[in-house]
Amino acid sequence: MAKTAVGLFENSELADEVVRDLVANGFLKNDVRVLGEPREMAGSGLMSTPHTDFEVQLARDLIVLGVLEAEAKDYVQGVRRGGVMVFATGAGRQAAGRN
């Protein structure tokens, strides 16, 4: 069964290095995704606040992946402060770091 591992990194350079390492260790490039806070965000409706909408949706998506609510909030705060998230999806052992 496929699982997704999530990591938060201080900047895009560090995240890019992690992506290179993941691919070098057997993850398919299409199974590794990078997410930072978009510079410009479109609102989703009349009463929309784009940054808040982004953060709420990110927290929801993380919880669906199995991240605890408190940890999801920490990830969202990290992205808000300029951090970059890396998502790697692979076989259970691979996503847990035990190839």
Which tens digits make up the pLDDT trace of 11-58?
999 999 999 999 999 999 999 999 988 777 665 555 557 778 889 999
Q: Domain ranges in the chain? A: 2-40+47-95
Number of C-alpha atoms within 13 angstroms, CB side, residue 42?
2
Q: How many CA atoms lie within 13 A of 73 on its CB side?
A: 2
Instruction: State pTM to two decimals.
Output: 0.79
Gap between the Cα atoms of 34 and 30, Å rounded: 11
Residues 6+ apart with CB under 8 A from 64: none
Given a contact cutoff of 8 angstroms between Cβ atoms, the answer to whether 4 and 31 are in contact is no
